[in-house]
Amino acid sequence: MIDLVYLDNAATTPLDGRVFESMLPHLGGCRGNPSSLHALGNAARDAVEGARASVAALIGAAPEEVVFSSGGTESDAIAVLGLARSAPSEKRHVVVSSVEHAAVREDTKRLEEEGFEVSWIGVDADGVVDLDEFAAALRPDTALAATIWANNEVGTVEPIRELASLCSEREIPFHSDAVQAAGRVPIDVSEVPVSTLAISGHKLYGPQGVGALYVRGGVSPEPIVYGGGQERGIRSGTQNVAGIVGLGAAAGLAREEMDERVAHERSLCDRILAGVEKIPDVILNGHRERRLTNNVHLRVSGVEAESLVLFLDSLGFAVGSGSACSSGGHKASPVLIAMGRSERDAFSVVRITVGKDNTVEEVDGFLQAFTVAVGQLRELSPLYAG
Amino acid sequence: MPDRYTPQVVDHLVRPRNAGEIPDPSGRGESGHAACGDIASFTVGISENVIEEVRYKVYGCAACIAAGSALSELVDGKRIVEAARVSKTDIEEALGGPLPAGKEHALTLVLDALHKAFEDHWNHAAGEMLLSGEKKPGNGGKSVVAAMSGGVDSAVTALLLKEAGYDVVAVTYRLHDGEKGSRSCCSPDTVLFARDTAHRMGLPHFTLNLKELFDRRVMQDFVGSYREGRTPNPCVACNAHVKFHASAFLADELGYHHVATGHYARVEQGPTLGRPVDESKDQSYVLWPVPQELLARTIFPLGEYRKTEVRAIAEERGLAVAYTPESQDICFIPDGNYRGFVRKQVEAEPGDVVDRGGKVLGRHAGVVDFTVGQRRRIGVSAPTPLYVTEVRPTTGQVVVGRKQDLEVREVAVRDLNLFLDAGEAASVQVRYNSRPVPCTVEETTDGEWIAYLDEPVVGVAPGQSAVFYTEDEARVVGGGVVARRAA
């Protein structure tokens, strides 16, 4: 096992030991197909339906409104592509925030290629979607609107209740990617009129490769894969039973432990923020209050993201860079650019996301390492005169 | 290609060597841009052509930081010629193998920053030399500074010299801001490509910044010629004042004896210029202004080869330049629109189009739009085609006539550069890509030559080069600039 202090929980969370235990019976020996009629099939189906109820309970949904998928990206695709494509042919317009996860962003670009007109909705400097701009963008021919529940990079929590209400008043389907939010922010679809909502297993201490899509009763997105008609025909293909059971267990634990986790994570993040803000020119990105309680996203002037992440890695701390360096140079994060950051500032960021199992000692060790890494990289940087 | 960094990269990241900057460096170079996400800077302390101190700074990904650190270690304490030989491959080896996919630019970036620091050092060392075209005396040895543009001719030149046992240093000139692939952050593609080509041959490479000299002696002369009704030849002006002097400067600084270029010409007894094996590529005409003392130390390896052979050599040795297209036209006007270039810098004043008798035939927008021999865009209709026979900038007149009015039987030549005795001049060539015409030469009291041509020649324009050849047409006697005909 690699000995690292893990502070990159927005990328993926550790698998909870209790979740792991719940999955084991479905990984070995003769397992049934949930579609089979015999006893093994019945057992598998019972397991899947139990998980469905558990996921539904986490978000205030009815079990039959939950569709299992391979993860957040697929759930987003079913919702965004499927809802837009199933809209009446005269509705060729979509409204999407400019701070979406790559999944929704790329689905939307795909729709643009298919001939949909896209209104990208701007955000303020903290990454909060502009409600007025969003409302003004909604039109009679709008087929779909979407906004991420809580941003995966900077952690800003969006005014989803207001956005979803604006859409429901106009009978426009509204999708929200709640992959980061689920289990960290109370979500109740009986109060917030979203049409669809994406969830991922491995962001809430469940397994990778499994996710769910909430699909409100009466909403029917066009499938993106066709086959045996599983999951109400919305997502064909034999279910990943072990994964689904894990997701169900994780959702159940999240629901039971949410308050405790949030309190713990918040205290760790406050400690981190207090520590790093002692270093000059280290600034919090995203909204200070309206944010995920486990996310500290920082601009570190004069230090490039990747070098800082690898430096911290060499000191035993795993954090996220939040910006991908591609061939021939870097690509600045579209989220940070949408928030009005310069490209240079968008390259100088680091994302620290704590989890329920992190400790105060780990955070204190991190703060020491961070101070060393930033100091040394700044000494080397031609862009920092400290 | 690997998907992660080697332990060596991480080691350089966490313990960078030679970090920082020298307060009063011999040279300073920076490459990259914050908006691209990476910036590297190098400062070097150079004494007696040895890198006594090197410091670097990087804002950028781990690859850039590690590459800068490794490069600084590779060049620290080395002779500058050896440091200039360090290639991207050398840096990769020092880092324990190839960088992950998409990170190769780190190597280009740090190498470019170091080479810009060398360039800055040479500029300091040159002082006024690279501005004025003055030069210092040379040294001895089987060593050569070979000009390298990134094209096939100059690359094969360097290769042939290396294979002939010379110590070769390759040099690329920064001449103007219109280079192909120019951008704000790194050097233009032409410079990066030439550097790569040299390094792949195992040769040291330097870049010299001659922009100011080139602007003063070539580009301003080009514009001024049009303003004054002359037909400029910028390649001649560059050979006269820029390229050979700059190569000789670097050779002198490094203690190298020879300079070389990829011109198709020979250095013959005299020394003088001779025609090459491949007469269809003959460049002796544009080389006439090279001072004889520089010609004495010049090598033109391609004078012994045909162009097809040069391409074959490049292909055989796997030089990537083998497939690059022929460079054409004037390097600082890549779109070929000379008039547009001149017009941007010269205010054009309208004037009259007249015939030889002074009769006004029409109006024109400015003398800068015309050269002698021009047939198109005169703006006057006539039963027979009209040609520009003379441009008179002082009166703003453009004189036009019939084709036979362009014929001349005598040509006045000034600003002569002679390699051989005047008595040897038997013919004169007045245009690129034409044949010399037999002539007799008379020297005037003020040092000009009058060439009396045995047969009439069409379209001799003031400002063009007139190059005199020996009886057998194999060697250049000397050359000069066609003077304005007495009105």
The interface predicted TM-score of the complex, written ipTM, equals: 0.87
Say which of A302, A314, A329 has its CB closest to residue B105: A329
Nearest Cα to Cα of residue A261 among A161, A148, A182, A189: A182
DSSP B486: P
Query: Cα distance from A305 to chain B (closest Cα, Å)?
Result: 7
A314 reaches B (C-beta below 8 A): yes
Which two structure tokens, joined as six digits, stand for B61?
């990904």
Query: Cα distance from B110 to chain A (closest Cα, Å)?
Result: 13
Asked whether A189 and A155 are in contact (CB, 8 A), the reply is no
Q: What is the pLDDT of residues B211-256, one digit of tens each?
A: 999 999 999 999 988 888 888 889 899 988 899 999 999 999 999 9
Task: Provide φ and ψ at B111, rounded to 5°.
Answer: -65, -40
Tell me, what's the pLDDT at A327?
Answer: 35
Contacts of A329 in chain B (CB under 8 A): 36-38, 105
Annotated catalytic, A167?
no
Is the CB of A314 less than 8 angstroms away from the CB of B39? no
Q: Which amino acid is at A346?
A: A
Contacts of A311 in chain B (CB under 8 A): 13-14, 62
DSSP A245: H
CA quadruple B216, B220, B225, B227: dihedral sign: negative
Residue with tokens 């057992």: A43
Contacts of A303 in chain B (CB under 8 A): 59
Contacts of A342 in chain B (CB under 8 A): 35
Tell me, what's the pLDDT at A1?
Answer: 56
Query: Cα distance from B407 to chain A (closest Cα, Å)?
Result: 58
Contacts of B13 in chain A (CB under 8 A): 307, 310-311, 314
Is the CB of A329 less than 8 angstroms away from the CB of B36? yes
**For chain B, which residues lie within 8 Å of any Cβ of chain A, measuring from their own Cβ?**
5, 10, 13-14, 16, 19-20, 30, 34-41, 57-62, 64-65, 101-103, 105
Reduce the DSSP state of residue A157 to 3 states and report it.
Answer: strand
Nearest Cα to Cα of residue B160 among B305, B276, B323: B305
d(CA A377, CA B13) in angstroms, rounded, equals 9
B123: left (phi over 0), alpha (psi -120 to 50) or beta: alpha
pLDDT < 70 positions in chain B: 34-36, 128-140, 179-186, 322-328, 485-487
- Going by DSSP bridges, is the β-strand pair A142-146/A174-177 parallel, antiparallel, or unpaired? parallel
Query: Cα distance from A110 to chain B (closest Cα, Å)?
Result: 25
Q: Which residues pair with B468 in a beta bridge?
A: B428, B478
Nearest Cα to Cα of residue A126 among A282, A7, A349, A290: A290
d(CA A336, CA B448) in angstroms, rounded, equals 70
Tell me, what's the pLDDT at B327?
Answer: 61
Element counts in chain B: helices (H) and strands (E)? 15, 20
In Å, the largest CA–CA distance within chain B is: 85
Nearest Cα to Cα of residue B110 among B79, B173, B66: B66
A311 reaches B (C-beta below 8 A): yes
Q: Which amino acid is at B135?
A: K
For residue A157, what are the CA distances in angstroms to A99, A138, A274, B308? 11, 21, 21, 68
- What is the CB neighbour count within 10 angstroms for residue B277? 15
How many angstroms separate the first and last alpha carbons of chain A? Answer: 39
Beta-carbon contacts of residue B476 (< 8 Å; ≥ 6 apart): B272, B273, B274, B284, B287, B288, B419, B420, B467, B468, B469, B470
Rounded to two decimals, the pTM is 0.87
pLDDT < 50 positions in chain A: 323-329
Beta-carbon contacts of residue A23 (< 8 Å; ≥ 6 apart): A207, A242, A243, A245, A246, A249
Which two structure tokens, joined as six digits, stand for B87?
């290639």
